[in-house]
Structures are given as C-alpha cells and as structure tokens.
Chain A
Amino acid sequence: MLEEIQLLMRLVPLLSKALGETIYMVAVSMAIASIIGVPLGVLLHTTDKGQILESLPLNQTIGSIVNAIRSIPFIILMVAIIPLTRFLVGSAIGTTAAIVPLVIASIPFIGRQVETSLKEVPAGLIEAALSMGATPSQIITRVLLPEAMPSIVSQLTTVIIALVGESAMAGAIGGGGLGDLAIRYGYQRFRPEVMLATVVVLIILVQAVQFAGNTLAKKLKKW
C-alpha cells in the first residue's frame, strides 16, 4: 500500500507537467482557431441561400475546402503539414509545434459548429432587423451572434473536448502533454499505472471543460 502511494507521489510532477502542456496546447490552439473559425462560420451561414450575404459560388467554395480539411484524419494532417509547421514555428517537434496542426484541424470544425448555431436563429429576427434598416454587419454583430451565443458556447465546448483528444495524438510528434505521457510511460515502458492515472486526469479535465461550458451557456441563455 505504502509502496503504491509512493509510486503515485512520484507520478504527480510528471502528470502535472503533462497536464500543463495539454492545457497550453488546447488553450492556444482554441484561441487562434476561434479567431479564424468563428468568422468562417459566420461566412458559411450568411453566404448560404436566402441569407443576408447570399453568394452561392463563395459558399460552395468555402464549404468544399472546409469539408476537404475535415476529411483528413488528424494524424495524417499532422504529418502532412510538417513543412508548414517548420516554417511557422521553426521546428516540427515540441508542444508549440503541435499547435499548428491543432489549429488547422479546428478551424473548419469550429466553422461548421458556429454555422449550425447560427442556423438556429429564427429567420423572422433577421427579417425584423432588415425592416428596421439594419446593415448586414449590424445583423451579424447585433442579432446573429448574440442570439446564437449560448448555442455557440455549447458547440465550442465540444470543439475543446475534441482538441483534448487530438492534442494527445500530437504526442506522436513529440508534442508532449498527457497523451504523450500515456504512450511513452504507460505503453512503451509497460507501466499501466501511468496509463491509468493519465486517463483519470483526462476524464477529469474533460468533465471540467464540459461543466464550465454548460454553466456559461446556461448563464447566457435568457429563455
């Protein structure tokens, strides 16, 4: 018993470092991907048929690119864009390097999730805003986004959780983080207790993210 506790104690610094790396990768990737992904979602929705900036050629072009990126499995995308990663961060290995494929994989995902949220905003609200002489940008910033915000928050929570999973794969190119820890110690060095501890930490992390997302969405929802 005592031995096991000592073993766990020795794991703590290892786990906390890996957790820190995972949070770093997820948070930075999420922030950058949202900055591009949310406007992408707005564009996907507003250029669709019958929407305020209707432009089907543009909508279909963007839609195809989004679909193409989303159909590449993350592990392949990660390797395929190594030259880009090297160009952007100077190295293809390490926690920061892992952020590049994570961002690229998340942008189209966020775009689609935001598009789905915006679709839920009743068309009547857009019509009402148009009848008051609102411009398209006013409709986006004052009607679409505020009305869809609770739903967008829920959808982005899903993206964050997907990122936690993908960041674990990023360990494959020496990205560090919890996934890397589980593979190297748990799998390659035959230490199942490390694997188990990692999984437990991941479960707690995902639960915490989901809880925070739900709480925020609920707070934003006025109906």
Chain B
Amino acid sequence: MIKLSHIEKIYDVPSGKVHALKGIDLEIERGEIYGIIGLSGAGKSTLVRCINMLERPTSGAVIVDGRDMTKLSTNELRAARKNIGMIFQHFNLLSSATVYENIAFPLTLSGTPKNEIEKKVLPLLELVGLKDKAKQYPAQLSGGQKQRVGIARALASDPKILLCDEATSALDPQTTKSILALIKDINKKFALTVVVITHEMQVIKEICDKVAVISDGVIAERGSVLEVFTNPQHKITKEFISVLLSNELPAAFRGNEISQEKTPGSLLLLRLIFLGDRADDPVLAEMIRTCKGVECTMLFGNLDEIHGVPFGRFIIGLSGEEDAIQNALNFLGGKDVRVEVIGYVRRNSVADEISSAVE
C-alpha cells in the first residue's frame, strides 16, 4: 500500500543543512496498522508528512497505492491526498465551524452536494459517538471529543490510508485508550491502512501490528510488535520498552553491585521471558523439581498480552551450589523460554536488617 524507498530529507537552515531523514526504506501492507516510534527530533513527523507530500522528500520515492507521489502534478496530488486521511496531535479543527461543519469540511472542498454530505456526515457522527454534539463548536468539546471529530473528518472522504501524527499525545491515558480503540475499530471496519506516529510505546503495544523504531533519521529496528517487544535489539528500542515494561530490580537489590562472580550469600538473577502458549507452562515448578539443590526466589513477575499473545516476564534469583545452578540454567536453556543472565547480586543490608527485625 505504501512503499518508501531511500527517502532523504535535507532542510536548509541558516546555520547549514539539517539531514532529517537519511535514506528510509519502509513498506506498509494494506490493512495493517504500522507504528513509527521515535524521540522528538528523530524525524518521524517528517517521515509521515512525506507520505502525503506535506513534506517533499529531497530524494527517494513515495509509492502510495501504486503511484509515485513525488511525481504527481499539483492537481493530481490534491486528488491523491483525498485518499489519505490525517489526524493530528492538536486536532487542527476549524474553531469557527461546528462539529458537523468540521466533519463535512473535506466534502465541501470537493463540492459535494448538501444532501450527500448529510448522508455521509451523520453516520460518521454516530461512528465516533458525537451525534448529540453536531451543532457545538470545538471549543465546547474535550480533547478526546475533538480527536473524534478529527477522525470523523479524516474518514469523510473515504480514504484508504489514515495517518496519525501523535494523535493521542495530547490526551490523558484513559482518553488515549478510547481513541486507540476507535482507530483499531475503523481499521477493521473499513480495511484502512493506518500509520501511527508516536513517542509512546504504549500506543504501539495497544494497536500496532508492526513497528519501526526511528532514531536520528534512520530506522534503527523494525519488525512485528511482538518480535520487537520481546526481543529488542537496538538500545533506543530497549529504552522505549523499559518505560512500559519495568525491568528494574526489586527494591531489596536496587543500587547493589552486580558482579559476574559468585560471592557467598548472593543470588544469581535471571530475567525470563515466556511467550505465547508457553507463558503459562509450569516451567519454574518443573525446574525446582528436577534440579536438586537450587533455591528459586521470585523477584518480579508480570503477565502481559501483545496482540492476544500472552507474554510473561519474570526476574528470579537462584541460589545453591555452582553446579546445581549450572544445571538449572541448562534446564531452562532447553525450554521454550528466553533466559538472560543478569549476574550475582547481594541483598541490601537494609533489607537484611528489615528481614532480621521481622524474624
């Protein structure tokens, strides 16, 4: 549906040239929700604007629905843009027009007759749940309602593609969830291809099928959301994910030195990731049963779901004789679990004091 090849964007600024996009290749399939995540200034907003030519790439090709957008004439481009709806972080609604008029706006631009506009706008008002707000002005709406108007407006010209530029970044978490649910809903209902630009991993996790992580004008990592979440490669991806998935050690260990050498009284910390149907396998119970001489302490556990696939993350501490621990590691290695050895760590003395006081 969308194919970007070798997209470069160079801005001329008084202090020289800014290389915003450095050769981006990206392919987005029909009906997919594709997330593009990056920090501010990474180039993600420029990239999404290259899709509908709000920003013209300095070089490279933008193929949308089989046509190279960079080669269209002004009039052809205007017509092509009607196939690409867009919603924005700050909604960009006309403050002087009512909700109804805002949704009707793209249709009035193309000279659609009044009765046809009504036939189009009323169902859209219903779809986004704003039927009773038709005559109100944007200033009378909440942020979430404004974005719903934005979505209805983007859908009015029956686009095949919806571009979401930080569409939920100005909304509170609750409203974000409902807007994301609406986007997912219309993606299914209209077989819409959706491109989501965000700096929040939560948004990616919630609705995207695939994700590209953009950093400093290049795509650092890409793949299915499940892959990227469970096995992030790039440092920036790990940072994004860590915001969402707490990888911190429990308080009792925090701040203590992690060494690769076993010291008396220390625990070997392991991070375990279970995926899919394996997430509820009794792997740990089995390990304790089979590997004699190993004590296992559960320090952190979380069972999540990405795209309906269960996804469990645990941090456990092993203690015991050297070879018993090795035995346990071998056991886990043979299972369908991703194991990451963090290292040996001692409990905090504070925690010791508390536990001895309790005893």
Contacts and interface: CB of A to CB of B under 8 A. Distances in A.
B139 A127 contact: no
A131 B95 contact: no
B109 A132 contact: yes
Given A125-B92, A222-B139, A131 B81 contact: yes
Contacts of B78: 133-135
B84 A143 contact: no
Contact of B96 (A122, A132, A138, A149): A149
A127 B92 contact: yes
B106 interface: yes
A119 interface: no
Contacts of A135: 78
Nearest to B107: A132
Interface residues of A, number: 21
A218 interface: no
Contacts of B108: 142
B187 interface: no
Closest 7 CB pairs of A and B: A223-B139, A128-B92, A133-B78, A133-B81, A222-B137, A124-B92, A132-B106
Given A133-B106, A147-B96, A223-B137, 12 more contacts: A124-B92, A127-B88, A128-B86, A131-B54, A132-B82, A132-B109, A132-B157, A133-B78, A142-B109, A220-B96, A223-B138, A223-B139
Interface string B93-117: 1111100000001101110000000
A223 B139 CA distance: 5
Contact of A222 (B52, B54, B85, B95): B95
A106 to B, nearest CB: 26
B101 to A, nearest CB: 10
B81 A127 contact: no
A222 B81 contact: no
A122 B109 contact: no
B54 A133 contact: no
B191 interface: no
26 contacts: A122-B90, A124-B88, A125-B93, A127-B92, A128-B92, A128-B93, A129-B105, A129-B109, A130-B81, A131-B52, A132-B105, A132-B106, A132-B109, A132-B157, A133-B77, A133-B78, A133-B79, A133-B106, A138-B109, A142-B105, A142-B108, A147-B95, A147-B96, A222-B95, A222-B139, A223-B95
A94 interface: no
Contact of B92 (A122, A138, A142, A146): A122
A138 B95 CA distance: 16
Given A122-B92, A143-B94, A223-B138, A130 B157 contact: no
Interface in B112-137: 137
A196 B105 CA distance: 54
A131 B109 contact: no
Contacts of A133: 77-82, 106, 109-110, 157
Contacts of A122: 90, 92
Given A132-B82, A146-B97, A147-B95, A127 B137 contact: no
Interface of B: 52, 54, 77-82, 84-86, 88, 90, 92-97, 105-106, 108-110, 137-139, 153, 157, 163
Contacts of A223: 95, 137-139
A132 B92 contact: no
Nearest to B87: A128
B84 A131 contact: yes
Nearest to A222: B137
A212 B147 CA distance: 35
Interface in A102-146: 122, 124-125, 127-135, 138, 142-143, 146
Contacts of B84: 131
A10 to B, nearest CB: 50
Contacts of B105: 129, 132, 142
A222 B109 contact: no
Interface string A55-81: 000000000000000000000000000
A142 B97 CA distance: 10
Nearest to A145: B96
B96 A146 contact: yes
Given A131-B81, A132-B106, A142-B108, A124 B90 contact: yes
B109 to A, nearest CB: 5
Interface string A186-206: 000000000000000000000
B308 to A, nearest CB: 33
A122 B163 CA distance: 20
